[in-house]
Amino acid sequence: MSGTITSASGPGRLSGLGVVLWREHRAMLGRWIARLRREPLTIAALLAQPMIWLLLFGHLFAGMANTASVPGDSYVQFMTAGAVVMTIFNACLQGGVELLFDRETGLLSRMFAAPVHRISIVSSRFVYLVALTSAQSAIILFAAYLIGVRYATGLAGIAACLAIGAAFGAGVTSLSMVLAFSLRSHSQFFPITGFVGLPLTFVSSALVPVDLMPSWMRVLAGLNPMTHAIDGVRSLVLHGWRLDVLAATAGALLLFDLCCLALAAWVLRRKLP
């Protein structure tokens, strides 16, 4: 009888914990969303940035499609995958700064004193960023469709593009959280992310095919997880369901996410009170 009671109470405790975590995440997500709603300029920037990546770079380098072996019927079609992944990268890389501001103002310490699981404060920001960047990616894909880009894999491929973007964003967000809890102030955060962000973007297949890069840049691009995310999305947009490319993308992003999450878990264990 006691064994039966124990086995029944175990799932009950897990179910109760799940409900508590859901409520905590819902409350914290409401905080991030409410903050975003109070900043209309931020909302406008988040909506405009994907269009800028797509239209500005798409037309700036449009002549490249006529003089070089750029895949796709147009450079805008080639650029769509790069615009999706670059937008996710920039948003997730800066995502941890809000927690850093909370640390500087003392709000994070007061939140840790509240009767909530500490990890919920961090993971809710993680979930918020993944949802936000997925919405931005959907806007890019819709805008690209309006200007003539057609997707070889249809609606299912668009869902797969969003999944690839979310997997890549998870790793980048983890690194941003590492910076947020490792640095002393936001004055250190922005120079580091600025220094890292631009080179990683250019040493990827976002703007030009890897085949057109110098040999030393090809090596760096092959080590860049952004390249693998872009290649997976681009394959879905231009070529269809190429399982070899998708398998390589999934493997590279899984390794990237595991390394980033392990680093974030180690830092959070040391920094969370």
Give residue-wise pLDDT tens across range 207-239: 888 888 889 999 999 999 999 999 999 999 988
More confident residue, 9 or 20: 20
pLDDT tens per residue across span 173-182: 989 988 888 8
Residue 20 lies in a domain: no
Do residues 53 and 83 lie in contact, with contact meaning Cβ atoms separated by under 8 Å? yes
* Ramachandran class of 72: left when φ > 0, alpha when ψ lies in -120 to 50, beta otherwise: left
Alpha-carbon dihedral sign for residues 66, 70, 71, 77: negative
> How far, in Å, CA of 207 to CA of 54, rounded?
11
User: 112 vs 125, which has greater pLDDT?
Assistant: 125
Report the pLDDT value the prediction gives residue 7, as an integer from 0 to 100. 44
Q: How many domains does the chain have?
A: 1
In the prediction, which pLDDT does 228 show?
95
Give every CB contact of residue 254 below 8 A, 6+ residues apart in sequence: 167
30 assigned to some structural domain: no
| pLDDT bracket for residue 60 (50, 70, 90) | low
Please state, in angstroms and rounded to a whole number, the distance separating the CA atoms of residues 257 and 169. 9
Q: pLDDT at position 6, please?
A: 43
Q: Report the sign of the C-alpha dihedral through residues 129, 130, 134, 135, in that order.
A: negative
* Distance in angstroms (rounded) separating the CA atoms of residues 142 and 85: 15
Give pLDDT, residue 196. 86
CA dihedral 99, 104, 106, 111 (to 10 degrees): 10
Task: Note whether residue 225 is domain-resident.
Answer: yes
Residue 29 lies in a domain: no
**Residue-number span of the structural domain to which 195 is assigned:** 40-271
**Mind listing the pLDDT tens digit for each residue in 117-142?**
777 777 788 888 888 888 888 888 88
Q: Which two tokens stand for residue 124?
A: 């809710």
On the question of pLDDT at 50 being above 60, the answer is: yes
Spatial separation of the C-alpha atoms in residues 112 and 197, rounded to whole Å: 31
pLDDT at 186 over 60: yes
Q: What is the DSSP string of 14-73?
A: HHHHHHHHHHHHHHHHHHHHHHHHT-HHHHHHHHHHHHHHHHHHHHHTTTHHHHS--SSS
Q: For the chain, what percent of residues have pLDDT higher than 90?
A: 23
Residue 32 lies in a domain: no
